[in-house]
Amino acid sequence: MNGLKTQRLPATAALFSVSLLALPVSLVFAQDTTSRPEYTSPNHIFTINVPRASNFAGVPYTVTVLDTKGDKQYDKVMFHVDDFGQYLVVGVRVMPSPLVSQMDKDEPQTVLRNLSEATLKGWRTDLSALPEVAQESSLDTKYGKAIIRVYRAKKGSVLVKAQGRRPTRDDAFDTNIASIVARQGAIVVFALAQNDASPTDGNVVMRMGTELFQDIRVSAGR
């Protein structure tokens, strides 16, 4: 992974785990060019404006609440346009005290790298291995220093290519997934972006993910 070494935080990945196929609640918002509806997470941990459609047909994002296994300290949502292979994920997790104490002892950049991997694997549980890191940078945010990574996922597309037959996962293609993660005390804030319509351009998903992250508003008192 570009020579980057990380230390594993025990059980961190499990705290963010939820299958891409676990889509229990979906809403579709009509969108216009003047305003965007505000989404409030089920446990009222964060709010965010629903992103505007970015595909050429103007198809709006579907809003899907992702299962967090009844954890009241964790909210996660996916905005997606399946026909265009566009996926945006937002999550905010209030970490348990023992894990916070453990993270405080580790080097901050290592912690962010581990969290980036954990949130990606927690969303894309279908990937057989952690994708390679194609790009890595940092960003100062209102939630502290964030790590920005673009992963190159082999056969990681959600869309598949097949002609004249029923497609299978073997028909998936390589794609990029961007991850933006910041930690402020016990609070972990993250955004993920995937765009199978532009599978070779890492800057596209980096921009999508960064814009999404900057719009996350964690509720007061968290």
**Where exactly are the structural domains of the chain?**
12-218
Closest by alpha carbon to 54, among 188, 157, 197, 169? 197
**Contact at 8 Å (CB) between 193 and 212?**
yes
Q: Is the pLDDT of residue 5 over 50?
A: no
Q: If you average pLDDT over residues 62-80, what whole number do you get? A: 95
pLDDT in tens, 170-211: 789 999 999 999 999 999 999 999 999 999 999 999 999 999
Q: Is the pLDDT of residue 154 over 90?
A: yes
Say which CATH topology domain 12-218 has: Protein Transport Mog1p; Chain A (3.40.1000)
Reported confidence tier of residue 220, pLDDT bands at 50, 70, 90: confident
At 87 the three-state DSSP class reads strand
What pLDDT score does 183 carry? 97
pTM of the predicted protein model: 0.85
Contacts of 164 (CB under 8 A, 6+ apart): none
Which pair of structure tokens corresponds to residue 163?
């002609």
What pLDDT score does 21 carry? 38
Q: If you average pLDDT over residues 135-146, what whole number do you get? A: 96
Higher pLDDT, 83 or 8: 83
Q: Which residues pair with 80 in a beta bridge?
A: 62, 87
What pLDDT score does 46 carry? 97
DSSP conformation class of 54 = -
